[in-house]
């Protein structure tokens, strides 16, 4: 297989990347490529330009800020998984990132790319939402903060403008008790349904176009998950109730 033709740009600074994104029609950022390249290979995505951010130096930091942990654009999911800072400040994120794909995928895939991709069945957007974190977006117009509850707008759609680069995600510290529990067909697959508990807050994934906050006492209320070959809508609702029960049993 071969991706469709595109023009390739590899800026070396964030400023240059923002300028390039602002100057091009129909450009896609390439971070870890673990979601974008499959879409190219299947020709489900046909961007005119690929803006590869992997040549930008020093945007792979994971550091403490404002009582939480910040993860920059090129920090790989494996680095988040191994990070002592994340394990200490936000162990919920450590637990969640281990459920994302497989280690070899996490060696390349980035946390920020995962949030930008906004797959409805993805764990990390639900963690950001449950904890009430935010992302920082950068463009030639400057920098802005997008809160988790404003970021995810639809299936693989976010509030990021086409010329904005997600430069950092920030997760508040996670306190006990927390849990992230999902059901998937095979280990490492996307979840059929999953729940994230952060003390008394509950976020669900895989059961709506975006991750959603829910009432732990009646988590399935108002949900209309889609059914597919893997699971019917009813089964997904059942999973939401069972997994929420498990998450709040502790």
Partner 1 sequence: MKVNGVVYPTPADPRRLLSDHLRHDLGLTGTHVGCEHGVCGCCTVLLDGAPVRSCLLLAVQAEGHEVTTIEGLASDAAPLHPVQQAFHECHGLQCGFCTPGFVLSVVGLLAQHPNPTPEQVDEGIAGNLCRCTGYASIRRAVHRAAELSQK
Ligand X SMILES: Cc1cc2nc3c(=O)[nH]c(=O)nc-3n(C[C@H](O)[C@H](O)[C@H](O)COP(=O)(O)OP(=O)(O)OC[C@H]3O[C@@H](n4cnc5c(N)ncnc54)[C@H](O)[C@@H]3O)c2cc1C
CB of 5 to ligand X, least distance (A): 17
Q: Are strands 68-72 and 134-139 parallel, antiparallel or unpaired?
A: unpaired
Residue from 18, 20, 30, 240 in contact with ligand X (CB under 6 A): 30
Cβ contacts of residue 206 below 8 Å, gap of 6+?
A: 120, 121, 182, 190, 191, 192, 193, 194, 225, 236
> Which DSSP letter does residue 72 get?
E
> Which DSSP letter does residue 108 get?
T
Residue from 14, 18, 32, 170 in contact with ligand X (CB under 6 A): 32
Output the six-digit token pair for 50: 């690929």
- How many residues bind ligand X (CB under 6 A)? The answer is 31
CB of 1 to partner 1, least distance (A): 5
Per CB under 8 A, contacts with partner 1 among 106-145 are 107-108
Instruction: Name the binder of 147 from partner 1, ligand X, none, CB < 5-8 A by kind.
Output: none
Closer to partner 1 by Cβ: residue 1 or 250:
1
Helix (H) or strand (E) holding 169: strand 165-172
Burial class of residue 36 in the structure, from the number of CB atoms within 10 Å of its CB (0-12 exposed, 13-18 middle, 19+ buried): buried
Is residue 195 near ligand X by the rule CB under 6 A?
no
Closer to ligand X by Cβ: residue 98 or 238:
98
Instruction: Name the binder of 42 from ligand X, partner 1, none, CB < 5-8 A by kind.
Output: partner 1
* DSSP for 131-147, written as a single string: HT-EEEEEETTEEEEEE
Q: Rounded CA gap, 120 and 208, in Å?
A: 7
Per CB under 8 A, contacts with partner 1 among 34-93 are 34, 37-38, 40-42, 50, 52, 54, 78
**Residue numbers of the site for partner 1 (CB under 8 A)?**
1-8, 10, 30, 33-34, 37-38, 40-42, 50, 52, 54, 78, 101-105, 107-108, 186-188
């Amino acid at each position: 297989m071969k991706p469709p033709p595109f023009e390739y740009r590899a800026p070396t600074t964030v400023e240059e990347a923002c300028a390039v994104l602002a100057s091009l029609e129909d450009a896609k950022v390439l971070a870890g490529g673990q979601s974008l390249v499959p879409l190219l290979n299947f020709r489900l995505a046909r961007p005119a330009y690929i803006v590869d951010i992997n040549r930008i130096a020093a945007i792979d930091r994971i550091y403490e800020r404002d009582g939480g942990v910040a993860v920059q654009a090129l920090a790989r999911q494996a680095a988040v998984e191994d990070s002592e800072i994340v394990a200490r400040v936000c162990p919920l994120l450590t637990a969640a990132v281990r459920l994302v794909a497989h280690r070899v995928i996490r060696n390349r895939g980035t946390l920020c790319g995962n949030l930008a991709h906004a797959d409805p069945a993805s764990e990390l957007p639900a963690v950001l939402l449950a904890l009430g974190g935010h992302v920082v977006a950068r463009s030639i117009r400057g920098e802005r903060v997008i809160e988790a509850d404003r970021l995810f707008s639809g299936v693989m759609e976010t509030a990021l403008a086409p010329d904005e680069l997600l430069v950092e995600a920030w997760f508040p510290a996670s306190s006990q008790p927390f849990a992230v529990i999902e059901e998937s067909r095979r280990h490492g697959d996307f979840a059929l349904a999953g729940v994230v508990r952060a003390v008394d807050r509950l976020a669900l994934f895989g059961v709506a176009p975006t991750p959603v906050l829910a009432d732990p006492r009646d988590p399935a209320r108002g949900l209309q998950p889609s059914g597919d070959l893997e699971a019917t809508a009813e089964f997904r609702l059942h999973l939401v109730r069972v997994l929420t029960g498990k998450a709040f049993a502790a």
